[in-house]
Structure 1
Amino acid sequence: MLVRMNYKYEMFPNEEQMQLLDSWLSICRQQYNSALLDKQRFYQKNQMGLSRTQLQKQQKADKQKIPFLKTMPSQPLQEVFFRLERAYKNFFEGRARYPKLKKHKDYNSLTFTQFGIENRHVKNKTTGEVKRRDVRYAASLDESNHLLISKLGAVYVNFHRPLEGKVKQVIIKRQGHRWFAIFSVERHVNETVEFPVQSTGIDVGIQKFAVLSDGTTIENPKFLLKVERKLKRAQKKLSRMKKSSNNWKKQRQNVQQLHIKVANQRRDFLHKLSYRLSKTYKFVFVEDLMIRNMVKNRHLAKSIHDAGWGAFGNMLDYKCNNNGGKLVSIKPHYTSQDCSGCKARVRKSLSVRTHVCKSCGTILDRDHNAAINIEAAGLALFDLSPTA
């Protein structure tokens, strides 16, 4: 079975290349905003949508009138309309708000949808003769593993780990003052993996990040809480400065770097944890939590976002699939209330952290009890026994 994976590496363009990449991002952002306004005007006038192909045809005509559109490769320009199409689809399916105009900070990546060198038939325009030859796309790698981008040149990429699989596309992303290349590769799943343990249930929380059904506790690192005071001081200092001044721009970058550091720490923690779990357990059972509804509680929203439950679930899902395992979501109804020993329902408030069953005498940590119930519900779906 083939799966898609992303590999992220830092790239180091020179000053001239960074300026060119920044100008390309500005052009793509301008095209996105222009296309969004065109779609709105077209709908108001004709009561029907403007399709992606129509926008692409208009862009092709615009290239003859607007010279700076020819200063960058065509693939990232065309991909702008795919993004807009996805934004509308997400809105109509209830997954996102209505698309809005992008600011400078909102548009920070370029996508090259074709990558590498392909051997194909090419027709000579003058003679009509057809020959097979190698065709290099706008983005590819050279022999020294430099990223070659059309109209930009070679850029050094720090390949700190092997790039495994066939590269299908690459995304160039600006993050603060750093640049990254994200390679989307296609690779085979190893379906003959032998797992040390058959299954586990996971109950995520705020005080403890997660508790497994075998009693293993994973502490919550609370990265945001650790830098919250420093972040508040930096934001307060920024608010007192004159907007758009040089000092304001420097301080804004300092605030941005603090947020980036917290995000990187959280992502690193979640990647390592999800990888370890996906390599250990064939079946991983988790609660199907409605996180979007849970964060409406203003007392818990910050802690839930800091824990990163949603990102953890996404990482665990694709890592389990890639390693030959399976992540299964279980309905969360009464997993904390029901006794894992006798199945009796023991009512308790959220503040009660210990499960005490008067029917069978079971005394467990509340989250450990829930994790056992989650695993039991998951095993019942596959007709498996805990000792299988």
Structure 2
Amino acid sequence: MITLTYQFKLKLTCQQTQEIENILVVCRRVYNFGLAERKAWLKSRKSPVNACSIISEYIFGVDTPYPNYFVQAKALTIAKQSLESLRSVNAQVLQQTLKTLDKAFTDMKAKGNGFPRFKKVMRSFVFPAMLKNCLANGKVKLPQLGWVNIRQSREYPTGFEAKQARIVKKASGYYLMITFQQYEECPDPVVGKTSLGIDAGIESFMATNLGELIKAPRFLLKAMRKLKWLQRRLKHKIKGSNNWLKLQRKIARLYESVANTRRDWQFKLAHYLCDKADNIFVEDINFNSWSRGIVRKRSLESGIGQFINEILPYISWKRNKFYLKVNKNGTSQECPKCHKMTGKKKLNQRLHDCQFCGHQENRDTAAAKVIKYRGKIAVGQSVMITENACGDGLAGVKQLTNL
């Protein structure tokens, strides 16, 4: 099964805009009510049976079941009979909101995420099922909203069926994300002949084994002057006033513009790298630790984690290129020529100088060559290593060993 998600900007009428805003408000209330119900049930089970809290106590019956998705969905159906606001929203949309809440609790237990928080603003909702013949040139038919006009920036994928739609509210307007599916199996990309090793860097965005040092344009730094000017104006406004809200929208649009520009550059870079080789090898790095470490500002500004984990794998799959993550340990310590460990390097040490073979090279490009070497071994390709023949340190005596 192949799943694709296309994003289009909506061109709404005033009535459709009001309908979407009403749906977002009702979804936020349903989410917060479900979260409050779960928190109250959990707190009622914390106190011992022979003692109560001095301040307050949540009282639930002994036989009251835990309010999971199925219990809350059943209660939602009953509540719709008496509340007009709930009847004004598609039932499946509200059910998807409760599923989102249930997934937040599941991720809290499975992934160790924090406890779910109450939402001040709901920015998206989902139509889990699409209508028949819902796609037309420049417009889409959605449940409850009817036909809505879109800015169709590209054609719909042929041979795919529209499964669900999500409406997202952003600073620049409303967007429609349509999920298409095709029930045909897609074979995994096979290992090709040429390979490319990529090292995620600090000084440069990334380095390749071909000797390229690619620096990321500092999009946020370029917009920082205007951003500071807007934020200085914002602090003099009364919070919640019309002028305060106008400046907030301007700041949000500026941030969105920076994010869109960065993402566009990363997609073009991914296509450029896929043109270079058939196999793409990268380091298996935990970028969450980068975002909390000494390089957090540069890594978050460049979006290196988004590029390595999301954009590059997708473009590699789309271009039928083989993509693989290799072990990151010691890539900057291993010599790309003799493959001996040369010891740890400090961050300010940007030159690789091997004390065994005397090889000197930029630290990042040397690590990229090591990544390519490890990737070729992982996929079972032959590699050429330059070694000392006798191991006695005789100069000029080398041997090429085919592994």
Aligned to 1:245: 241
- For 1:338, the equivalent position in structure 2 comes to 334
1:317 match = 313
Task: Tell me how far 1:355 sits from its aligned partner.
Answer: 1.2
Q: Is the 8 A contact 1:206 1:307 kept in 2?
A: no
1:195–1:281 CA contact under 8 A, matched in 2: no
Q: Secondary structure at the match of 2:332?
A: coil
> Deviation per CA, 1:51-109, whole angstroms, max 9, x where unpaired?
211111111111101012121222211100111111112211235321000012xx211
Report deviation, 1:153. 2.4
Q: Secondary structure at the match of 1:64?
A: coil
Which residue of 349, 352, 357 corresponds with 1:355? 352
- Residues 315-343 of structure 1: CA distance to partner in whole angstroms, max 9, x if unpaired? 22233334433322222111011110011
- Give the structure 1 partner of residue 281 of structure 2: 285
The CA RMSD measured in Å over matched residues stands at 2.3
Q: 1:262-273, aligned counterparts within 5 Å?
A: 262-273=258-269
What amino acid is aligned across from residue 210 of structure 2 in structure 1?
A: D
Please name the residue that 2:175 is paired with. Answer: 180
User: CA 1:190–1:58 in 2, change beyond 3 Å: closer, same or farther?
Assistant: closer
2:197 aligned to 201, 214, 218, which one?
A: 201
CA distance in 1, matches of 2:128, 2:28: 17
Label 1:383 to 1:193 Cα distance change in 2 as closer, same or farther (>3 A).
Answer: closer
Q: Which residue of structure 1 aligns with residue 71 of structure 2? A: 54
Q: Is the 8 A contact 1:278 1:323 kept in 2?
A: yes
Q: Secondary structure at the match of 2:165?
A: strand
1:89 aligns with 2:100: no
Correspondence for 1:5: 4
Q: Which residue of 2 aligns with 1:112?
A: 127
Given that residues 211 and 368 in structure 1 are in contact (C-alpha distance below 8 angstroms), is that contact kept between their aligned partners in structure 2?
A: yes
What SS does structure 1 have at the residue aligned with 2:194?
A: strand
Q: Once structures 1 and 2 are overlaid, which stretch shifts more, 338-347 or 313-322? A: 313-322
- Aligned counterpart, 2:395: none
2:292 to 285, 292, 296: 296
The answer for the alignment partner of 1:66 in structure 2 is 83
In the aligned structure 2, how far is the partner of 1:212 from the partner of 1:197? Answer: 17
Residue in 2 that maps onto 1:227? 223
User: Aligned letter for 2:381?
Assistant: L
Q: Is the 8 A contact 2:6 2:179 kept in 1?
A: yes
Matches within 5 A, 1:163-174: 163-164=156-157, 165-174=160-169
Partner residue in 2 for 1:29: 28
Q: Which amino acid aligns with 2:242?
A: N
Q: 1:229-250 deviations in whole A, cap 9, x for unaligned?
A: 2212211221221100111011
Deviation of 1:41 after TM superposition, in Å, equals: 1.6
Matching of residue 307 in structure 1 with residue 307 in structure 2: no
SS in 2 for 1:349: coil
The separation in 2 between residues aligned to 1:337 and 1:100, in whole angstroms, is 43
Separation in 2, partners of 1:163, 1:275 = 21
1:79 is matched with: 96
Q: Distance in 2 between matches of 1:380 and 1:29?
A: 51
- Residues 253-310 of structure 1, C-alpha deviations (whole Å, 9 max, x = no match): 111111111111111122222244346543321111122222222x421111111122
CA 381–195 in structure 1, closer or farther in 2 if over 3 Å, else same: closer
Q: Residues 92 and 176 (structure 1 numbering): CA distance in 2 closer, same or farther, change over 3 Å?
A: same
Q: Which runs of 5+ in 2 are unaligned?
A: 47-64, 385-401
Normalised TM-score (structure 2) = 0.83
Which amino acid is 1:208 matched to? S
Is 1:383 the equivalent of 2:383? no
Question: 1:380 and 1:196 mapped to 2: Cα distance?
Answer: 14
Against the structure 1 CA distance between its residues 342 and 3, is the aligned structure 2 distance closer, same or farther, given a 3 Å change threshold?
same
Between the two proteins, the alignment pairs up a number of residues equal to 362
Letter in 1 for 2:303: G
Identity of aligned residues (%): 27
The one of 142, 150, 154 equivalent to 2:143 is: 150
Cα distance between partner residues in 2 of 1:96 and 1:202: 31
SS of equivalent to 1:340: coil
Q: Which residue of 1 aligns with 2:253?
A: 257
Unaligned runs of 5+ in 1: 118-135
TM-score scaled by length of structure 1: 0.87
Aligned equivalents of 2:107, 2:246: Cα separation in 1: 35
Q: Return the offset for 1:386.
A: 5.3
More strand by share: 1
Counterpart contact for 1:195–1:280, Cα < 8 Å: no
Match of 2:369 in 1: 372
- Structure 2 CA distance for aligned equivalents of residues 214 and 191 of structure 1: 29
Question: More deviation in 27-36 or 286-295?
Answer: 286-295
Q: Quick check: 147-156 or 54-63, which moved more?
A: 147-156
For 1:300, the aligned partner's letter is V
Structure 1: how far apart are the matches of 2:382 and 2:360? 23
Larger Rg: 2
SS in 1 for 2:205: strand
Measure how far apart 1:194 and its partner are: 9.0
Distance 1:39 1:346, change over 3 A: same
